[in-house]
Chain A
């Protein structure tokens, strides 16, 4: 019985094999065109709908196929884009944009002010359920619309005529223009949306107003873009086609780059960084990036909430130079402040111990540790939680051994799935010390400082300081950029003195860029528009 049944199964398998071999058509062909740029992308975009996107990767692709009112140059200077200019009222509340008269969708229709009105309303409409609706929370009535108290049409965005767009803010927001470079504020074409519904982002349906248009998207494999002939600045676009290769494994990506199949990588695997720096120094691009890697304390529990000494001792005992040189080793900057250097119009404050050398810091840390009531006989015992990843683990192991050697603290490492760690951090019940990070949404200190305000959902340490919150509020109401900066810097000083977090290092962006590519510019936002690049043919 069993043998012949198995034989039948085998025959059925063969039948499937035969069908599979016969039926599968290889649709992908190699684009032999010389002017095709091959870029790595570390994961699929979750959506190409500007209002449903949230990831860095989706942003990367959307900046090629869409365009906001403002944009950036290759080196990261803000420039007009779909708008050719704007005026800002003296109170900093009313922005008037002049939409380019030659701005076109890829079907040759004009991009008008009303498209922006439609899109910004759609962004805050609860029915859209956009992740990034809060980005434009400073537009009048935006928050009330998101929470369902007002109709989307109440948004203070108005198309005076086809070319003139007026946006009113509820409070002065110096970084508002920077927000308009973010893909979530890009326009979508209302007619296309009405015609295709949810599938308007499909290749063939998607209308783009950027330098490229979407030809195909095979999830898990590749997105193909080609030149948008209707783009107003099409003459300046050098490269005809761009392929984004979805490569989740950094090693795979590196191998493909080395085999000559990619021009630009999304990342450089840590394991190979040293060798690459030696072998391909001209191709390696490392630039500081708006992101901070930190350990947070759970301040809602007494162990850390009540002991400033312990918090400061642990912060001081970490040798950040060893961390960035030996453990991460990719040119990261050791962090002694909360806001990274390189943020526009801002000078980060530093920890009061930042100017000591590590031996002096260790001595200070031991003193504080003893003051906090801990000793060799009574060591501090706590858990350090981090999410499953090689880098997090290496850092956690290193910090654990530093705390052990300098202070004698007994730290248990708890390695959790990312989503598990997140839900633990949000509940703030079992967490003691946890790993987290923050990547800036826009080039302004506010994006970093605001998350530690009381009531901010991203305030994982549960930091609550009235002084800090008042300074942040004062900064928010300030229209004078110089005064605003003073308030923000003062807020950071208060923050650092309270030690609610241990900033470990500031991120860097790292890419391998083939020598064939020119026009590449390193910038803190790590935005690299394909339209600025050109490809040498050999």
Chain B
């Protein structure tokens, strides 16, 4: 078991290194430096700034310096937020992004599974068709259209909800971002649930249960839901990725200080360290997650270790 764990961990390191090298090269390949501006600076001042941030060193030296920092958990100073380090910025933005993503995920699961099950139970009825048509619409309209329309109607015209993030209190400001983020996922999950629920409901053991006189709700709850959820659970990985993507848009539109917004700003400002830091952070997080799952999996199923 120990050997397996060690091997897995060792396997993850080159992947991470690859990510760092790739991202490092990409940001440095971009033309223009982090401090370029229309107000071109006198050369001596430019040299002072380059020196301060070690931008005057050859690329490999910069890389080694950076890597050395990363190993010690130091992601460097941010170029576009000169009073902050990258780790501070990520630390500040992460809880909020996680929180938003978690809420969106929860909402999409609850609504998606309920709607999908309802549609499956009433297969080929008006209810089914409506749910599926709505789901299709949810998938077909990009978030960056849905979110501004929601803001315009609910916040600007009706003034029921706050239009933005900063300075507004409590739960209400979560509503629009979370709903915008969750809508496409609700749609996907509803469709998945419906399809697998129909399959499961047609299987023999459900027919047996039905023959025993169990009611529909009991059948779904005690027998059908668990097997029908398998494809939905398998979808969680892609769903996380989709919410990550969506969060970039939603954070931009609502002005939410999360990681997505931070990343876009960093990329547009050539904030090398910030951009690299976020990519590395995400990659590490996900690689660790996979690692954890693999090890857990090996604990549960010893056969895996042999392979």
Contact = CB atoms under 8 A, between A and B. Distances in A.
Interface of A: 1-10, 12-13, 16-18, 20-21, 23-24, 26, 28-31, 38, 43-44, 46-49, 52, 54, 126-131, 133-134, 137, 143, 146-148, 198-199, 201-202, 218-222, 243, 245-249, 251-252, 255-256, 258-261, 417-420, 422-424, 426, 436-439, 441, 457-458, 460
B3 interface: no
B167 A222 contact: yes
Nearest to B254: A252
Nearest to A134: B42
Interface in B234-284: 234, 236-237, 240, 252-258, 261-262, 265, 268, 270
Contact of A199 (B32, B83, B159, B294): B83
B110 to A, nearest CB: 12
A438 B101 CA distance: 42
Contacts of A258: 156, 163
Given A219-B92, A220-B262, A38 B293 contact: no
Interface stretch (B6-14, B43-51, B200-208): B43-51
30 contacts: A5-B294, A7-B234, A12-B289, A13-B237, A21-B99, A21-B102, A28-B167, A28-B168, A46-B81, A46-B82, A47-B81, A47-B82, A129-B49, A133-B48, A146-B42, A220-B255, A220-B261, A220-B265, A245-B166, A247-B166, A248-B252, A248-B261, A252-B164, A252-B255, A255-B155, A259-B155, A261-B164, A261-B167, A423-B32, A441-B39
A259 B156 contact: yes
Consensus secondary structure, chain A interface:
mixed
Contacts of A222: 166-167
A47 B84 CA distance: 9
Contact of B257 (A201, A219, A261): A219
Nearest to A55: B37
Interface string B279-300: 0000000000110111011001
Nearest to B39: A458
A221 B166 contact: yes
A439 B39 CA distance: 9
B31 A419 contact: yes
A218 B32 contact: no
Interface of B: 30-33, 35-45, 48-49, 51-53, 80-84, 89, 92-93, 95-96, 98-99, 101-103, 105-106, 148, 151-152, 155-156, 159, 162-170, 230, 233-234, 236-237, 240, 252-258, 261-262, 265, 268, 270, 289-290, 292-294, 296-297, 300-301, 304
A126 B240 CA distance: 46
B31 to A, nearest CB: 5
B48 A9 contact: no
Contacts of A21: 99, 102-103, 106
Nearest to A38: B167
A23 B81 contact: no
A44 B264 CA distance: 13
Contact of A7 (B96, B233, B240, B261): B233
Contact of B163 (A52, A148, A199, A259): A259
A198 B36 CA distance: 23
B253 A259 contact: no
Contacts of A198: 83
Most buried by B among A12, A20, A30, A417: A20
A515 B221 CA distance: 58
Contacts of A221: 165-166, 255-257
Contact of A129 (B42, B51, B93, B165): B51
B89 A255 contact: no
Contact of A419 (B30, B43, B93): B30
B83 A9 contact: no
Contacts of A424: 31
B40 A426 contact: yes
B99 A457 contact: no
B38 A437 contact: yes
A248 B263 CA distance: 13
A460 B37 CA distance: 12
B95 A23 contact: yes
Contacts of A43: 265
B237 A6 contact: yes
Contacts of A10: 233-234, 236-237
Nearest to A438: B38
B255 A248 contact: yes
A221 B257 CA distance: 5
Contacts of A129: 45, 48-49, 51-53
A9 B289 contact: yes
A26 B163 contact: no
A8 B293 contact: yes
A36 to B, nearest CB: 9
B36 to A, nearest CB: 5
Contacts of A199: 83
A220 B156 contact: no
Contacts of A29: 169-170
Nearest to B81: A219
Contacts of A436: 38
Contacts of A9: 236-237, 289-290, 293
Given A47-B83, A245-B167, A422 B38 contact: yes
Contacts of B33: 419, 423
B43 A457 contact: yes
B119 to A, nearest CB: 22
A418 B45 CA distance: 21
A512 to B, nearest CB: 14
A458 B102 CA distance: 48
Contact of B297 (A8, A128, A252, A426): A8
A28 B164 contact: no
B48 A126 contact: yes
Contacts of A134: 41-42, 45
Contact of A6 (B42, B233, B255): B233
A447 B98 CA distance: 47
Contacts of B257: 218-221, 246
Contacts of B82: 46-47, 49, 52
